[in-house]
């Protein structure tokens, strides 16, 4: 794809095919999403059906052909080599006469060269350029005519063929002073070279998105009927065993049944080093097995986290919502308007007595200088660069209009568990003899509750059986023939078991703030107690304090009792169930723009209500909750990096659009008034597109990449600077 209008052409061509319901293509990533009827077509049919009019289509699972790049480079070399000779001959014989520096009579001594050999060489070389170098342009124009959607190639084709055709007629008439082969040669060369560098810049801008798409393995290796075979993911059965070897991508989410491996999870979590996974561990689809071999049991839902993430990012990249949709419509309506304008102004010049030569030059300059590609590139290329930069930093942007959101916020709301805290419970105090700890740990291994998991890690010496669960209260099980209970005071009350006052006295109220008491007992009496607490996330106090310098901070928590976080906030809401959090966000929005930061597990309604929502956690869970920004991992200060990156991308988009408007508002009137030569019009047009490409491809601010180098409290000034970046 070499122009944003290719999106419309490919979509129209695809939707005319019986069995294809919808085609949505993205110029920035050279990718198309196809919705088709499986009763009429298969996925393998699509490349052949869609490879029409010069567009070569392949499935994402297939490697891209290397020769495409080589062919484009060869076309650039051919264009520049031939055009250089053409321009040198013009410079030697014709430009001096056009400028009045040399009179035609002075060329009589070399008449055979100036009026015979040179024009013939120019004609032959330009003809080769038109036939070979101009082929992609003419093909794109023909596709536009076939589909009834005019594009940039139509403008260029008319300009090139008009200049070449007029000059060819004059060449055979012997009128060497009326040759404009240089216009055709220059336009083709500048456009071809510009598109080559533009394609390279687009590939760089969407590099990380390409990695994500390529990492999603659409095939899975399974054993059926005693033989190892490879099947598409959609044919994989829930619960089926999948074999993954070193160097391969894990196709879907699932639990490891056999083997162990070092797995690269950086695309999903930002973790720079491979992690070791073994029996019973959850393996995420799209991650890469670096070393070892595993057999995995596919989850009931066979969509991988990587597939879900790829779909989300595709939607962001290809969305035509908001300003992006407006820009696309402007770019697509631009070409017909320019054609009418160029024809009208040429007719006006001709009828006003300026002559055919002047009228043609003005029309050509108008056609060439008009650049809908500048509009078409402005947003998608900057968006691709922003997505790519975010992915490199472990930040996932999931909202299609993320770059149109507010850049300043009056209120910032924090969820507590999983955001300010890690969500991992740990035993902070234990008042129990060794046998009580061992029995409690054995019983708690039968429960999946976070508090049970914390207590179960204290000892591994005993085993429990016959568990009797009391959801939210605790569990009773047998340990070496003895019935042991572990749970809350309520559980012991239900059982009618006694909790000695001496045991309660060892946990004064001040010590239980932010913690949960659990008791262990047998023979109708508690013999020990544990205090478990949620672990605070590192640097949360500094993050909240610095945000509080610029906005009101609000704490939302489902816990009904104080936990030690409250003092850091301007406003606190405790005991708020997930369904009520959205109401608080709506209330805060009355005072201005609201941003919400949550862990993404149960905050979906509130995240959806906020003007900007940031979530921590696994991409699959977060995708369902539609947060605007996902930050996997544990680094809360990354929110400043995310805000800085979004703000910087917004600036790039506005710069691109501003330049596109300024360029067209300046260049088109100059061409219409006859002040712009077609040669300079070609240079201006390609320079305009390349400027947008260069601006979009520039490195975005690094933001908070060095948070792990030192405690946040020692770098507050750095953070304040980044906060300023995020706002500006």
pLDDT at 48 (0 to 100): 87
Per-residue pLDDT band for 727 (boundaries 50, 70, 90) equals: very low
DSSP 346-369: HHHHHHTT--HHHHHHHHHHHHHH
pLDDT of 180 higher than 70: yes
pLDDT at 483 (0 to 100): 95
Residue 489: is it exposed, middle or buried by C-beta count within 10 angstroms (0-12/13-18/19+)?
middle
CB 484 within 8 A of CB 439: yes
Interior angle at CA 680, CA 675 and CA 682, nearest 5: 120
pLDDT at 65 (0 to 100): 52
Tokens of 243: 């074999």
- Exposed e or buried b for every residue in 682-691, given b needs 16+ CB within 10 A? bbbbbebbbb
Ranges assigned E (strand) in 18-148: 20-26, 31-36
pLDDT at 208 (0 to 100): 62
pLDDT of 583 higher than 50: yes
Return the higher-pLDDT residue of 163 and 384: 163
Q: Which residues, in sequence order, are bridge partners of residue 292? A: 261
Strands in 421-431's sheet, in edge-to-edge order, are: 421-431, 525-536, 515-522, 482-487, 474-479, 465-470
Fold topology of 217-303: 2.70.150
Tokens of 536: 């605070």
Q: Report the pLDDT averaged over residues 334-352.
A: 84
Q: Do domains 217-303 and 423-535 have the same CATH topology?
A: no
- Collapse the DSSP code of 79 into the 3-class scheme (helix H, G, I; strand E, B; otherwise coil) and give the result: helix
Share of the chain above pLDDT 90, in %: 14
Q: Which residues, in sequence order, are bridge partners of residue 232? A: 219
Return the axis-axis angle of helices 118-128 and 67-93, rounded to nearest 10°: 160
Q: Report the pLDDT averaged over residues 336-362.
A: 83
Residue 234's Cα: distance from chain center in Å?
Answer: 24
Give residues with Cβ within 8 angstroms of 479, minimum separation 6: 439, 442, 443, 462, 463, 464
Residue 647's Cα: distance from chain center in Å?
Answer: 15
Rounded-to-integer distance, Cα 712 and Cα 382, Å: 31
Q: Report the pLDDT averaged over residues 309-336.
A: 57
pLDDT tens-digit map of 692-702: 777 877 777 66
Residue 272: is it exposed, middle or buried by C-beta count within 10 angstroms (0-12/13-18/19+)?
exposed
DSSP 713-724: GGGHHHHHHHHH
pLDDT at 704 (0 to 100): 41
pLDDT at 270 (0 to 100): 47
Return the higher-pLDDT residue of 721 and 305: 305
Rounded-to-integer distance, Cα 314 and Cα 399, Å: 10
Return the higher-pLDDT residue of 250 and 575: 250
Return the higher-pLDDT residue of 247 and 294: 294
Per-residue pLDDT band for 726 (boundaries 50, 70, 90) equals: very low
Rounded-to-integer distance, Cα 61 and Cα 184, Å: 40
CB 477 within 8 A of CB 459: no
CB 129 within 8 A of CB 153: no
pLDDT of 495 higher than 90: yes
Per-residue pLDDT band for 724 (boundaries 50, 70, 90) equals: very low
**Highest mean predicted confidence (pLDDT) among 155-159, 162-166, 217-221, 323-327:** 162-166
Report domain extents, the chain. Answer: 217-303, 423-535
pLDDT of 321 higher than 60: no
Point out the residues that are catalytic. Answer: 415
- Exposed e or buried b for every residue in 368-386, given b needs 16+ CB within 10 A? bbbbbbbbbbbbbbbbbbb
Return the higher-pLDDT residue of 436 and 672: 436
- Exposed e or buried b for every residue in 144-168, given b needs 16+ CB within 10 A? beebebbbbbbbbbbbbbbbbebbb
Rounded-to-integer distance, Cα 109 and Cα 114, Å: 9
Rounded-to-integer distance, Cα 75 and Cα 196, Å: 9
Q: Which residue pairs, CB below 8 angstroms and at least 24 apart, start in 598-602?
A: 598/414, 598/415, 598/418, 598/419, 598/627, 599/415, 599/417, 599/418, 599/419, 599/423, 600/418, 600/625, 600/627, 600/630, 601/418, 601/423, 602/578
Return the axis-axis angle of helices 181-205 and 207-215, rounded to nearest 10°: 60
pLDDT of 286 higher than 80: no
Candidate from 114-123, 294-303, 465-474 with smallest mean pLDDT: 294-303
**Longest alpha-carbon distance in the chain:** 123
pLDDT at 459 (0 to 100): 93
pLDDT tens-digit map of 428-474: 889 999 999 999 999 999 987 778 888 999 999 999 999 998 876 88
> What is the average pLDDT score of the chain?
77
Sign of the CA dihedral running 418, 420, 426, 429: negative
CATH class as words, domain 423-535? alpha beta
pLDDT at 540 (0 to 100): 85
pLDDT of 120 higher than 60: yes
Rounded-to-integer distance, Cα 79 and Cα 73, Å: 10
pLDDT at 445 (0 to 100): 92
DSSP assignment, residue 3? S
pLDDT of 215 higher than 70: no
Q: Which residue bears the tokens 């080093």? A: 273
Return the higher-pLDDT residue of 379 and 124: 124
Return the higher-pLDDT residue of 605 and 83: 83
pLDDT at 496 (0 to 100): 93
Give residues with Cβ within 8 angstroms of 286, minimum separation 6: 212, 215, 216, 217, 249, 250, 267, 268, 304, 305, 306, 307, 309, 310
Tell me the pairing of strands 474-479 and 515-522. Answer: unpaired
Tokens of 75: 């076309």
pLDDT of 705 higher than 50: no
């Amino acid at each position: 794809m070499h122009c944003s209008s290719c999106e419309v052409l490919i979509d129209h061509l695809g939707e005319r095919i019986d069995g294809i319901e919808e085609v949505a293509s993205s110029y920035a990533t050279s990718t198309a999403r196809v919705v088709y009827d499986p009763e009429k077509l298969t996925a393998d049919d699509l490349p052949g059906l869609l490879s029409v009019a010069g567009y070569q289509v392949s499935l994402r699972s297939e490697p891209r052909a290397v020769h495409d790049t080589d062919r484009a480079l060869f076309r650039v070399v051919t264009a520049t080599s031939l055009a250089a000779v053409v321009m040198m001959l013009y410079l030697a014989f014709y430009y001096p006469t056009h400028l009045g520096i040399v009179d035609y009579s002075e060329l009589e001594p070399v008449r055979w060269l100036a009026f015979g050999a040179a024009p013939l060489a120019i004609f032959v070389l330009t003809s080769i350029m038109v036939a070979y170098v101009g082929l992609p342009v003419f093909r794109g124009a023909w596709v536009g005519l076939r589909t009834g959607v005019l594009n940039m190639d139509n403008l260029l084709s008319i300009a090139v063929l008009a200049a070449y055709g007029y000059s060819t007629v004059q060449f055979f008439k012997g009128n060497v002073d009326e040759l404009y082969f240089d216009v055709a040669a220059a336009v083709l060369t500048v456009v071809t070279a510009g598109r080559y560098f533009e394609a390279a810049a687009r590939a760089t801008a969407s590099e990380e998105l390409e990695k994500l798409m390529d990492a999603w393995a659409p095939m899975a290796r399974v054993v059926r009927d005693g033989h190892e075979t490879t099947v598409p993911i959609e044919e994989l059965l829930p619960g089926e065993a999948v074999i993954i070897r070193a160097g391969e991508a894990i196709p879907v989410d699932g639990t490891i049944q056999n083997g162990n491996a070092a797995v690269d999870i950086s695309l999903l979590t930002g973790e720079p080093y491979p992690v070791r996974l073994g029996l019973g561990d959850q393996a995420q689809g799209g991650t890469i097995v670096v070393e070892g071999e595993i057999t995995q049991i596919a989850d009931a839902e066979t969509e991988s986290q990587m597939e879900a993430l790829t779909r989300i990012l595709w939607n962001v990249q290809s969305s035509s919502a908001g300003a992006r949709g407006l820009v696309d419509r402007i770019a697509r309506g631009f070409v017909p308007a320019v054609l009418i304008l160029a024809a009208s102004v040429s007719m006006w010049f001709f009828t006003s007595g300026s002559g055919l030569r002047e009228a043609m030059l003005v029309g050509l300059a108008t056609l060439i200088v008009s650049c809908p590609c500048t509009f078409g590139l402005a947003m998608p290329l900057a968006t691709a660069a922003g997505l790519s930069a975010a992915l490199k930093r472990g930040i996932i942007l999931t909202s299609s209009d993320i770059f149109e959101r507010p850049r300043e916020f009056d209120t910032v709301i924090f969820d507590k568990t999983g955001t300010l805290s890690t969500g991992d419970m740990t035993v902070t105090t234990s008042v129990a003899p060794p046998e009580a700890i061992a029995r409690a740990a054995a019983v708690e291994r039968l429960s999946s509750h976070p508090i049970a998991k914390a207590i179960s890690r204290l000892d591994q010496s005993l085993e429990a059986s016959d568990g009797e669960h009391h959801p939210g209260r605790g569990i009773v099980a047998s340990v070496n023939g003895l019935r042991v209970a572990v749970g809350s005071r309520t559980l012991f009350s239900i059982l009618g078991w006694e909790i000695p006052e001496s045991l309660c006295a060892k946990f004064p109220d001040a010590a239980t703030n932010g913690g949960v008491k659990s008791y262990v007992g047998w023979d109708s009496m508690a013999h020990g107690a544990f205090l478990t607490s949620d672990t605070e996330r590192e640097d949360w106090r500094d993050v909240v304090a610095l945000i509080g310098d610029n906005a009101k901070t609000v704490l939302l928590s489902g816990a009904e009792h104080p936990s030690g976080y409250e003092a850091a906030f301007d406003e606190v809401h405790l005991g708020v169930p997930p369904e009520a959090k959205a109401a608080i966000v709506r209330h805060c929005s009355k005072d201005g723009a609201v941003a919400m930061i949550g862990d993404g597990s149960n905050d979906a309604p509130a995240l959806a209500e906020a003007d900007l929502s940031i979530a921590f956690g696994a991409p699959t869970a977060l995708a369902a909750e539609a947060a605007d920004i996902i930050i996997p991992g544990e680094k809360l200060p990354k929110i400043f990096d995310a805000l800085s990156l979004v703000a910087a991308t917004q600036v790039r988009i506005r710069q691109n659009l501003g330049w596109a408007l300024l360029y067209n508002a300046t260049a088109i009137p100059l061409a219409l008034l006859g002040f712009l030569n077609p040669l300079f019009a070609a240079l201006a047009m390609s320079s305009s597109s390349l400027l947008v490409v260069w601006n979009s491809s520039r490195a975005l601010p690094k933001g908070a990449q060095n948070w792990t180098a030192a405690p946040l409290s020692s770098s507050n000034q750095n953070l304040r600077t980044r906060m300023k970046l995020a706002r500006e």
